[in-house]
Amino acid sequence: MSNTKVLPLLEPDTESGPESVAPCCPPLTERPFTAEEAELTARMFKALGDPVRLRLFSAVASHAGGEACVCDISDVGVSQPTVSHHLKKLKEAGLLTSERRGTWVYYSVEPSALASMGRLLTSE
């Protein structure tokens, strides 16, 4: 498949890696978004648009060092495979990264993504 269009400021990035969404787009109030900008930015909002994912992200983000083991945050009322599924979505949206250390897998927040989203919503 031909690569889905990526804005110039974004590095091409690897196939399945985070869709690299962080350093994009001016505040929502600055000018009307183009189709490409909207497509790109909507991914992040959509990723946080599910209650379970929002709780998982918040759990990771509020954990010490912005990092948490799956076992520490998987008590959100859904089955374990579902937790894994949502963490994968958050990773694909570029909001989280994961790293395996021994038996456990640790998820961390991608600081640039958080900053980027914050910038979208601050009119100042």
Q: Which is nearest to 20 in space by CA: 120, 122, 116?
A: 116
**Residues in a beta bridge with 108:** 67, 97
Candidates 10, 48, 69, 105; binder of its own copies (CB under 8 A) is 48
**Footprint of DNA on 8-67 (CB under 7 A):** 46, 49-50, 52-53
Instruction: HSE, CB side, 13 Å, CA atoms: give it for residue 81.
Output: 0
Whichever of 30 and 51 has its CB closer to DNA, that residue is 51
Residue 104 carries which DSSP code? E
Task: Return the one option of its own copies, DNA, none that residue 85 interacts with (CB less than 5 to 8 A, by type).
Answer: DNA
Amino acid identity of 77? G
Q: Which of the ranges 3-11, 57-65, 85-93, 116-124 carries the binding residues for DNA, by CB under 7 A?
A: 85-93
Task: Return the one option of DNA, its own copies, none that residue 74 interacts with (CB less than 5 to 8 A, by type).
Answer: DNA
Q: Strand, coil or helix: what is 113? A: helix
DSSP assignments along 56-74, one per residue: HHHHHHTSGGGEEEHHHH-
Task: Return the one option of DNA, its own copies, none that residue 98 interacts with (CB less than 5 to 8 A, by type).
Answer: DNA
**Residues in the site for DNA, rule: CB under 7 A?**
46, 49-50, 52-53, 69-71, 74, 78-89, 98, 100, 102-105
